[in-house]
Homo-oligomer: A and B are copies of this chain.
């Protein structure tokens, strides 16, 4: 068993917050005791949609793509990278851990053949918008975008942006505030 307070400490928040959040998905704690770890874990997996695997295509076989492909926590959670695509002829025909790197021209064919629902976009900013449009048109439902551009896509395609520079800038901002206070 684990209490809301113990969870809060790990997550960097408060017990009340944890209870409010969890209660919005139903009440599965036990008064006086806390939450059972296994049921809680199972319920969160359900909420996050991790009880079934997701077919993922990685678009962009550069350094960021490489890091993401090797990231063990993706596979752990049921994200299956079933295809890798790139435009560089020097990379096409190669393979990472047995998964071939294919020509990005085959994007639509791969999405169809492999029932890809999620695309991880790890390409330069200039290439992102057209590739995102093609992925969306091919039927992809969600895009995890590492390019520093806001993608304009038709309704119904979920986009999540990750901007690594922003995180460092936030740190820089916080440290500058400290300096200013002195």
Chain A residues packing against B (C-beta within 8 Å) = 10-12, 47-50, 54, 62-64, 66-68, 70-71, 73-74, 76-77, 79, 117-118, 120, 141-144, 148, 150, 158, 160, 162, 164-165, 167-179
Q: Is the CB of B67 within 8 A of A63?
A: yes
Q: Is the CB of B66 within 8 A of A66?
A: yes
A167–B173 alpha-carbon span in the complex (Å)? 23
Chain B residues with Cβ under 8 A from A173's Cβ? 47-49
A71: which of B141, B142, B164, B174 is its contact (CB, 8 Å)? B164
A170: which of B11, B160, B167 is its contact (CB, 8 Å)? B160
Question: How many of these chains are in the complex?
Answer: 2
Known: A49-B173, A77-B165. A141 touches B63 (CB 8 A): no
Most B CB atoms within 10 A — which of A11, A144, A160, A164? Answer: A164
Chain B residues with Cβ under 8 A from A76's Cβ? 165
Known: A48-B169, A118-B171, A164-B162. A73 touches B148 (CB 8 A): yes
Chain B residues with Cβ under 8 A from A74's Cβ? 164-165, 168
Chain B residues with Cβ under 8 A from A118's Cβ? 168, 171-172, 175
A64–B122 alpha-carbon span in the complex (Å)? 13
Chain B residues with Cβ under 8 A from A148's Cβ? 73
Q: Is the CB of A178 within 8 A of B73?
A: no
Most B CB atoms within 10 A — which of A49, A117, A173, A179? Answer: A49
